[in-house]
């Protein structure tokens, strides 16, 4: 269960919280109407799949459910790239903007570019033909290690066009982390870029990829390098080719590379995410159910209109970007903003300038980003005309009521509905969320399961917890975008998600339900921590630390942080008589950044002669969090040596790290 103090806080909030009734004006024009909840689960998704997707061959059966594996829309044939690109061009929407691309340098830079659906089709066809020339075809796995450039969407869609499953590795991961993931999937082609632009600076990307590929065994035969900055990069003869050269002579005629008819259940992509052990999990997503799920939720949750300008400020390298920057919006023929940069560059107004410039009406971001803006002060948002905004979304971590209220008031003019959306890499699309115009809103609550979603809270024995209670969040019935397992690891799939309860999917999150039946998410209850909305396995951090020569043993945990939600604290015991200096702490933090990526770099490294172990030699992990947060420890009587924790508490107080 979640730690008691979190539950108490949320409980108090739930009682005292404000409630915003759905607004009449908004309700009248909303995509979702109250009867949306009336249909049965299968009927709801059946109707959505028919309405929102274009099928080469209609499906024969909506659902086959043999727990823990689901199949949706059986017998259907379709192609994701056709649904996201070609059909819009064929329907006369070729001139509609798919992406307003804003480079790292911001919306005033003339390098901003609009990419229409016709442009996207041309780029996708050319790149798909390029990939074909490298031997990629139906079923060939492709790795994509790019930053937030339009080509990341082009590469994903080119793969989808060919029926080649992709795995995108977040551009901020280290080259080693990238190589491990493409190695695991058996990719033969890796698509990357020369350098990334990050807050006005260039960051090596190709060099990182090279380093990873030289230290990890993979099947990579070709590396395609997008020239983003034109910086000098080493190219390996026979293996590496520039994107620009690869596409130069390729045909842009869609007939030259028709969309491969894919079975509903054919693999669309793997996305690796962190679990409770060090090895990342390859989450499997297939074609039709995923596409139906993302298109439907994108339409209703954000109240998307034909002339909407929608902006999801996440990174395509995470599931949020897959589902709500690429596949969902494009499957709905929407216009999106794609921003390469970060919230504070070139100035703290950049987000608001983008919204003003393009007339964005839907913004989807994370609580961490909102808290950054709060820290900088409301004057930045308030000095821009943000009256185009209609709907504000939040995702990735629990949103504290203060951030929710600030978002609605200073960004949303005090009237925009804020939709706090709960979901996971594994769920593929949003599962718990208010529907704007229909659901009364409560700051800090994700409110109700989406139509066609059967969520509940179970206690440890598997009993459903009623209003006012807390426990573990579960899903009792399948949904279309649910993962179809973990790549090559049936046992881990069953173990992680289906062994805790006999009849439900265990999400790994603690949650409470209030008297109105609204859900309040409380955060992870396992060894996964959430830093700035990025999911990190503490075990993976520990493996990276013990990989360092000086480290004998390491234990990492997430402690609460007012800005990033959680921050990683690493307790480290050193080998022999090595000394725990500030320099070594800094070196260890860098070592983790190099092994996994900067996102996993511990906020603090605390040296300790020993770990809090039970008599059977197991680290009592519950204590680590309490020590890191300076909280009371509770029962420590099973510890082998209770004085160890006292020393650790002193170290934390002294801020050793």
Binding site for ligand PRX (CB under 6 A): 273, 318-320, 395-398, 420-425, 446, 507-509, 521, 523-524, 530, 535
Which CB atom, from 117 or from 422, has the smaller least distance to ligand PRX?
A: 422
Report in angstroms how near the CB of residue 619 gets to ligand PRX at its nearest. Answer: 23
C-beta of 48 vs 365, nearer to ligand PRX: 365
Closest CB 274 distance from ligand PRX, rounded Å: 8
Alpha-carbon distances, residue 546 vs 110, 217, 463, 624 (angstroms)? 47, 21, 40, 17
Task: Reduce the DSSP state of residue 261 to 3 states and report it.
Answer: coil
Comparison of 325 and 611: residue with beta carbon closer to ligand PRX: 325
CA 102 to the chain's CA centroid: 21
Would you tell me how many other CB atoms lie within 10 Å of the CB of residue 486? 24
CB of 351 to ligand PRX, least distance (A): 19
- Closer CB to ligand PRX, residue 174 or residue 320? 320
DSSP-assigned states of every residue in 269-307: EEEEE--SSSSPEEEEEEHHHHHHHHHHHHHHHTT--TT
Q: Closer CB to ligand PRX, residue 395 or residue 644?
A: 395
Choose between 293 and 580: whose C-beta lies nearer to ligand PRX. 293
Taking the complex as a whole, the smallest distance from the CB of residue 27 to ligand PRX amounts, in Å, to 23
Sheet bearing 142-145, strands edge to edge: 240-242, 222-226, 189-193, 142-145, 166-168, 267-273, 281-286
- Smallest separation (angstroms) from ligand PRX to the CB of 533: 6
End-to-end C-alpha distance for the chain, whole angstroms: 29
Cβ 462 to ligand PRX shortest distance, Å: 20
For residues 119 and 397, which CB has a smaller minimum distance to ligand PRX in the complex?
A: 397
- Nearest-angstrom CA–CA distance, 304 and 240: 41
Minimum distance between the CB of residue 628 and ligand PRX, rounded to whole angstroms?
Answer: 19
Residue closer to ligand PRX by CB (options 366, 477) is 366
H-helix segments, 596-642: 621-629
Alpha-carbon span 61 to 76, nearest angstrom: 9
3-state helix, strand, coil in the chain (%, to 5): 35, 25, 40
Q: What is the CA radius of gyration of the chain?
A: 24
SS3 state at 365: strand
Min CB(261)–ligand PRX separation in Å? 30
Q: How many angstroms separate the CA atoms of 170 and 173, rounded?
A: 6
Nearer to ligand PRX, 333 or 367 (CB): 367
Q: Which two tokens stand for residue 445?
A: 């609550």
Residue nearer to ligand PRX on the CB measure, 336 or 472:
472
**Is-contact 79 261, C-beta < 8 A?**
yes
Q: Which is nearer to ligand PRX, 300 or 318 (CB)?
A: 318
Would you call the peptide bond into 321 cis, given omega within 30 degrees of 0 as the criterion? no
Gap between the Cα atoms of 190 and 188, Å rounded:
7
CB of 399 to ligand PRX, least distance (A): 7
Confirm if 614 and 602 have CB atoms less than 8 A apart. no
Nearer to ligand PRX, 329 or 398 (CB): 398
Instruction: Name the minimum Å distance from CB 297 to ligand PRX.
Output: 11
Neighbours of 642 (CB within 10 A): 12
Q: Which is nearer to ligand PRX, 68 or 254 (CB)?
A: 68
Q: Which residues pair with 286 in a beta bridge?
A: 267
CB contact at 8 A, 448 and 519 = yes
In the complex, least distance from residue 78 CB atom to ligand PRX, rounded to whole angstroms: 24
In sequence order, which ranges of 30-99 are alpha helices (DSSP H)?
A: 41-52, 80-81, 87-90
Query: Could you check whether the bond before residue 68 is cis, i.e. omega within 30 degrees of 0?
Result: yes
User: 193, 244 in Cβ contact below 8 A?
Assistant: no
Q: How far is the CB of 483 from ligand PRX (least distance, A)?
A: 10
Q: How far is the CB of 509 from ligand PRX (least distance, A)?
A: 5
Instruction: Record the tokens describing residue 164, joined without a space.
Output: 């080649």
As a whole number of angstroms, the distance between CA 605 and CA 43 comes to 53
């Amino acid at each position: 269960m979640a730690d008691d103090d979190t539950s108490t806080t949320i409980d108090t909030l739930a009682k005292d919280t404000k409630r915003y009734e759905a607004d009449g004006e908004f309700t009248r024009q909303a995509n979702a109407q109250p009867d949306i909840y009336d249909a049965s689960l299968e009927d709801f998704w059946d109707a959505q799949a028919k309405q929102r997707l274009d099928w080469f061959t209609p499906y024969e059966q909506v659902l086959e459910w043999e727990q823990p594996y689901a199949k949706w829309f059986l017998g259907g044939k379709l192609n994701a790239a056709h649904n996201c690109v070609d059909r819009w061009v064929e329907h006369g929407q070729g001139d509609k903007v798919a992406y307003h691309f804003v480079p790292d340098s911001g919306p005033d830079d003339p390098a901003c570019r609009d990419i229409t659906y016709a442009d996207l089709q041309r780029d996708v066809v050319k790149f798909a033909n390029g990939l074909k020339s490298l031997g990629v075809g139906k079923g060939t796995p492709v790795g994509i290690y790019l930053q937030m450039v339009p080509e990341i969407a082009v590469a994903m869609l080119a793969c989808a066009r060919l029926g080649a499953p992709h795995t995108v590795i977040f551009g901020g991961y280290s080259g080693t982390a990238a190589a491990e993931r493409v190695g695991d999937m058996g990719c033969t082609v890796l698509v990357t870029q020369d350098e990334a632009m990050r807050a006005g600076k260039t960051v090596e990307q190709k060099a990182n990829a090279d380093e990873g590929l030289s230290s990890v065994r993979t099947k990579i035969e070709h590396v395609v390098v997008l020239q983003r900055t034109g910086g000098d990069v080493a190219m390996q003869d026979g293996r590496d080719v520039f994107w620009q050269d690869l596409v130069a002579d390729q045909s842009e005629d869609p007939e030259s590379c028709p969309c491969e008819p894919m079975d509903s259940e054919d693999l669309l992509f793997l996305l690796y995410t962190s679990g409770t052990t060090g090895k990342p999990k390859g989450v499997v997503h297939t074609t039709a159910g995923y596409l139906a799920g993302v298109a439907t939720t994108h339409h209703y949750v954000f109240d998307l209109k034909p002339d909407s300008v929608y902006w999801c400020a996440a990174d395509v390298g995470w599931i949020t970007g897959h589902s709500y920057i690429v596949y969902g919006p494009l499957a709905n023929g929407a216009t999106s903003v794609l921003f390469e940069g970060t919230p504070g560059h070139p100035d703290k107004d950049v987000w608001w300038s983008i919204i003003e410039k393009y007339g964005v009406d839907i913004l989807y971001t994370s609580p961490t980003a909102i808290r950054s803006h709060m820290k900088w002060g409301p004057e930045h948002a308030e000095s821009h005309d943000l009256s185009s905004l209609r709907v504000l979304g939040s995702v990735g971590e629990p949103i504290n009521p203060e951030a929710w209220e600030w978002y609605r008031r200073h960004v949303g003019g005090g009237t925009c509905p804020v939709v706090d959306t709960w979901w996971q890499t594994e769920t593929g699309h949003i599962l718990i969320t208010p529907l704007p115009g229909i659901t009364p809103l409560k700051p800090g609550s994700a409110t109700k399961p989406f139509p066609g979603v059967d969520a509940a809270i179970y206690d440890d024995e598997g009993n459903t917890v009623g209003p006012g209670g807390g426990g573990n969040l579960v899903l009792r019935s399948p949904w279309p975008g649910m993962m179809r397992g973990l790549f090559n690891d049936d046992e881990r799939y069953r173990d992680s998600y289906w062994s805790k309860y006999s009849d439900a999917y265990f999400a790994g999150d603690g949650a409470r339900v209030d008297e109105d039946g609204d859900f309040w998410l409380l955060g992870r209850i396992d060894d996964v921590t959430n830093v700035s909305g990025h999911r990190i396995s503490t075990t993976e951090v520990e493996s990276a630390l013990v990989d360092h020569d000086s480290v004998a043993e390491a234990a990492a945990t997430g402690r609460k942080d007012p800005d990033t939600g959680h921050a990683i604290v690493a307790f480290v015991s050193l080998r022999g008589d090595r000394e725990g200096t500030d320099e070594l702490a800094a070196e260890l933090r860098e070592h983790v950044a190099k092994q996994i990526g900067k996102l996993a770099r511990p906020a603090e490294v605390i040296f300790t002669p020993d770990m809090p172990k039970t008599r059977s030699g197991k680290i009592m992990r519950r204590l680590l969090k309490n020590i890191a947060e300076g909280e009371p420890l509770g029962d420590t009587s099973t510890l082998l040596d209770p004085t160890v924790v006292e020393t650790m508490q002193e170290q934390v107080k002294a801020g050793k790290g």
